Structure 1
């Protein structure tokens, strides 16, 4: 049994967060997409409520980062545009959407529900700040292997129907996120052939979602 603490990450966590990213996203994932100190500084300064980490026995084993935006319904932005290349300088303090920049859990601590706890904590942030929804792109790391046979939309539909398991999409579905579209060239991610599923969770306490 492991006692997990979910908290906001701070300056003193930066070295561990960068090491965590290196562990979670090995090659061929582009190393330039991993966190750097400048990005992490922007996260804790601009939107500390959206800078979360999971800690076990004093060690950071997971993290999740988000920003607030106003994103029109039906808009399908790529990751670099939606998150300002991870620097979140486009954060809007009055934005009605919490947009997920990143979520990761150490491979040594997966299958313990840490990712779901981080997601639940961010849902609570959505409710606390009275935002309309949580939104973000989910990589589809199983898609490249079947991209000659299936469109990304068909691949996503099969994952949603339980006919196919995708490491990221299946996890997001289990967390209550629902697909609202597919975005091409979302990230330079070879395993996903560049595609991502745009997944949302709507605040059940928001009157517009009634």
Structure 2
């Protein structure tokens, strides 16, 4: 994957390249993590070189990044899983193999999002949406059923004393509450399908996550992926 586009950062047009990342991008990808997830987010959850090597080796199509003026400004990682392996409860740790994606299934019908990060300086420029739409394109290209992933709910800690995580998600969807992550995912076309408890070590979300999907609109219900 490789495409070029213009985004506006602080009112200035900037040329951006969205492409698959490679092992040569390791340092830049780790710098993105540090900028996007400062404490209290656990530093041990930042990408490590051995994890990134697995991403590139096992599913390079699902490992994408955004680059501007020679600097990596965002990244997104995914793996393929079978829909029947996603029934019931799972955590980020279990479903992503601790971020190593060694459980990637080339015959999977669901593109599962492992991570999405955009550095603060470019968060108002639409990079996150472009990365997301690039994976939607991959879902269509591979004739998958859907894109799925757990979204952090960093606004929930402020509301946890008043409502359950399920009610908080309903209220964000209804516009009663605004959540920086879930509201963004809704604007990207993702739809909530459930709430996961103890999904991630994330105090801001009280360790909850909203399971959010995007269904392939070009795949009829009775179609199967053909290899």
TM-score by length of 1: 0.97
Structure 1 residue 76: Cα displacement = 3.3
Aligned to 2:60: 48
In the TM superposition, what whole-angstrom CA distance separates every residue of 1:116-136 from its partner, at most 9, and x where no partner exists? 000000000011111100000
In the TM superposition, what whole-angstrom CA distance separates every residue of 1:74-95 from its partner, at most 9, and x where no partner exists? 4331101110010000000010
Gaps of 5+ in 2: 1-12
In the TM superposition, what whole-angstrom CA distance separates every residue of 1:83-118 from its partner, at most 9, and x where no partner exists? 001000000001000000000000011110000000
Pairs within 5 Å for 1:110-149: 110-149=123-162
Q: Are 1:21 and 1:35, in contact at CA under 8 Å, matched by a contact in 2?
A: yes
- Distance (Å, rounded) in 2 between the aligned partners of 1:209 and 1:175: 26
In the TM superposition, what whole-angstrom CA distance separates every residue of 1:33-91 from its partner, at most 9, and x where no partner exists? 11000000000000000000001111100000000001326433110111001000000
- Distance (Å, rounded) in 2 between the aligned partners of 1:103 and 1:54: 11
Gaps of 5+ in 1: none
Q: Which aligned runs of 4 or more in structure 1 are off by greater than 6 angstroms? A: none
Aligned to 2:205: 192
Structure 1 residue 209: Cα displacement = 7.7
For the aligned residue pairs, the C-alpha RMSD in angstroms reads 1.2
Pairs within 5 Å for 1:16-165: 16-72=28-84, 74-165=87-178
Larger radius of gyration: 2
Aligned to 2:217: 204
SS in 2 for 1:89: coil
TM-score by length of 2: 0.90
Number of paired residues?
Answer: 210
